Structure 1
Amino acid sequence: MVTVRRATTAGADAVWAVLADGWRLPAWVVGAARVAAVDRTWPVVGAQLRYGIGGWPLVLPGSAEVTACIPGRELALHGRTPFGGVDVRVRVDDAPSGCVLEITEDVVSGPAHLVPARVRAAIIGARNVETLRRLALLAEAGTP
């Protein structure tokens, strides 16, 4: 598992507003191109969304299912892509002037699981530094 943390001046409620809106996933998740469908119950456990991975004209199908949810604090997903399954957990912890974001992710199945752990960790870590940067910027800007 790879864990990345980032402090933001946004409050936990502002971050949660982004996480709780499945339609905004491509705005903060690096590699997500667009959302095709979001269950009306998002982000309760079992809710799913379908999204595209990559860039036009090559957009591959992906999906995610909520595996755990503590409103305002934590969202865990199991994602399925042509490259394999991934488990992702985003935590939001209060801090004196905003909050601290934490994302933990790893590939759990499929072809990407064959990539050596050190290489996977480097790729996932770099990707999630940018993912948390985007999430923080969206939360700091407020709801569109």
Structure 2
Amino acid sequence: MPRKSRMFGTSPERVFAVLADGWTYASWVVGASHIRDVDDGWPAAGTRIHHQVGPWPLHVKDTTWVHAVVPGRMLELHARAWPLGEAMVRLDLEPVNGATRVTLTYDLIAGVGRFVPHLVQSVLLGPRSTEMLSRLNDIAVRRRVGGQVMA
């Protein structure tokens, strides 16, 4: 399965705080253009983010829901963007000497993407994954709450 990792200069708790704020989803997920709603209790298993994918006026309204979660350590999402397809997306957060290794893994499970070999998926999704990790890192490291950078 396509997989990318990046070291973040902050704690797993700070990274997970961004993931746990569903309203930030379109800020770090490449292709997500607007968040319409976030279920109460996000990111508990089964809760959803209602989003739009793509540019206006060609955007697609769909949802992403939490398949599994270990707070502070892992978030596995079932992402939909029909008619393009569906993917299981997993983010693993591993503490490493005061920093965090974030690993992003994809598995295209429905739609045309499921027929694409994993090696080709890695090549096609690699730049997108790199950009998503870069955006997530920027938010986690520099996010401010009440005018102060989160500690």
Report the TM-score when normalising by structure 1: 0.94
Report the equivalent of 2:85. Answer: 84
Q: Does 1:129 align with 2:138?
A: no
SS of the residue 1:46 aligns to: coil
1:95 CA displacement: 1.1
Between the aligned partners of 2:144 and 2:13, the Cα distance in structure 1 is 11
Q: CA deviation at 1:124?
A: 1.4
The C-alpha deviation readout for 1:31-84, integer Å capped at 9, x for no partner, is: 110111110110000101111111122211221110100001100011111111
Q: Is the 8 A contact 1:106 1:124 kept in 2?
A: no
Number of residue-to-residue matches in the alignment = 144
Q: Tell me the residue number matched to 2:21.
A: 21
- Distance apart, 1:7 and its partner CA: 0.2
Number of the residue aligned with 1:67 = 67
Quote the Cα distance in structure 2 between the aligned partners of 1:136 and 1:40.
25
* CA-to-aligned-CA distance 1:16-41 (integer Å, 9 cap, x gap): 11000111001111111011111011
Q: How does 1:1-144 map to 2 (within 5 A)?
A: 1-82=1-82, 83-144=84-145
Range that drifts further, 103-112 or 64-73 = 103-112
Distance in 2 (alpha carbons) for counterparts of 1:6 and 1:101: 5
What is the alpha-carbon distance in structure 2 between the residues aligned to residue 95 and residue 115 of structure 1?
34
RMSD (Å), alpha carbons: 1.3
Give the Cα–Cα distance (whole angstroms) in 1 for the partners of residues 128 and 89 of structure 2. 13
Q: Which runs of 5+ in 1 are unaligned?
A: none
Structure 2 CA distance, aligned partners of 1:16 and 1:143?
15
Matched AA of 1:134: R
Letter in 1 for 2:18: V
Residue in 1 aligned with 2:149? none
TM-score (norm 2): 0.90
Distance (whole Å) between structure 2 residues aligned to residue 29 and residue 136 of structure 1: 12
Contact 1:78 1:87 in 2 (8 A): yes
Look up the SS of the partner of 2:49 in the other structure: strand
Q: Which moved more, 1:120-129 or 1:41-50?
A: 120-129
Q: CA offset at residue 116 of structure 1? A: 4.1
| Residue-by-residue CA offset, 1:59-115 (whole Å, 9 max, x unaligned) | 112211101000011000111111111000001110113111111012111122233
Counterparts of 1:122 and 1:110, CA distance in 2: 18
